[in-house]
């Protein structure tokens, strides 16, 4: 958990430090708010894993967008503990019993804030998403000792479908070449009807990064 917050804080700090430099570049220009379709690749750091994905947003009146998001999550166990053994120079992971993946397909509404009050290359926004999530878990083999005899047990794979809801607040930093970088803290509520990877509730806090263009 601590490593997650350290990494997320470092990435957010890097983006925020670069924002004043970007804004300063265009101080001499009178900016008119630009509102276009958006497309981007995405990277998410969450409290239980990482994700890669992509999105496309269609512009709506009132500086709003309607979008479609597709992501692929690799999720670790809650009690998973990585450690390094200096005697054999190898890394190990304790309590690593599952190999879970999740694919959320969400529809999104994005609202830009203060469009007429802030420089056009600095765009605060709020986001709401809702959609379906497909979860897959491929448990690792287990070894059970009975009367001194060790045997291997292969648990069955798990497949579950559910919904997920997401809310977030973030900032886009844009350039006059129509490229943008976005950073956004967000919370995703995900609840399965049946247990998968040992639990039903896979809700998580995330830091999401987007790199894309406007057209």
- Cα(156)–Cα(159) distance, integer angstroms: 10
Stretch among 31-35, 62-66, 93-97, 204-208 having the lowest mean pLDDT: 93-97
| Mean pLDDT in residue range 129-156 | 76
| Mean pLDDT in residue range 123-143 | 89
- Cα(188)–Cα(184) distance, integer angstroms: 12
Q: What is the pLDDT of residues 154-207, one digit of tens each?
A: 778 999 999 999 999 999 998 767 899 999 999 999 999 999 988 999 999 999
Q: Please compute, for residue 126, the number of CA atoms within 13 A of its CA located in the half-sphere on the CB side.
A: 4
Q: What is the pLDDT of residues 81-90, one digit of tens each?
A: 666 667 777 7
Domains of the chain: 2-214 (2.40.160.20)
* Residues composing the chain: 215
- Cα(178)–Cα(175) distance, integer angstroms: 6
What is the pLDDT, as a whole number, of residue 93?
A: 63
* Cβ 31 vs Cβ 119: under 8 Å: yes
| pTM of the predicted model as reported, rounded to 2 decimal places | 0.76
């Amino acid at each position: 958990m601590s490593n997650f917050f350290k990494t997320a804080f470092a990435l957010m700090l890097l983006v925020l430090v670069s924002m004043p430099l970007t804004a300063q570049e265009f101080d001499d220009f009178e900016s008119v708010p630009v509102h276009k379709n958006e497309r981007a690749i995405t990277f998410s750091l969450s409290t239980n894993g990482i994700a890669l994905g992509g999105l496309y947003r269609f512009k709506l009146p009132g500086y709003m967008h309607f979008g479609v998001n597709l992501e692929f999550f690799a999720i670790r166990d809650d009690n998973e503990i990585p450690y390094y053994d200096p005697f054999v120079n190898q890394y190990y992971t304790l309590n690593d019993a599952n190999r879970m993946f999740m694919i959320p397909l969400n529809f999104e509404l994005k609202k830009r804030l203060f469009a007429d009050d802030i420089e056009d290359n600095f765009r605060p926004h709020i986001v709401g998403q809702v959609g379906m999530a497909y979860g897959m878990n491929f448990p690792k083999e287990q070894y059970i000792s009975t009367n001194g005899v060790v045997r291997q047990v292969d648990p069955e794979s798990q497949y579950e479908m559910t919904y997920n809801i997401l809310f977030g607040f973030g900032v886009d930093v844009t350039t006059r070449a129509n490229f943008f970088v976005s950073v956004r803290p967000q919370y995703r509520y995900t609840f399965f009807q049946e247990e998968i990877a040992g639990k039903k509730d896979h809700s998580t806090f995330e830091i999401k990064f987007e790199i894309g263009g406007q057209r």
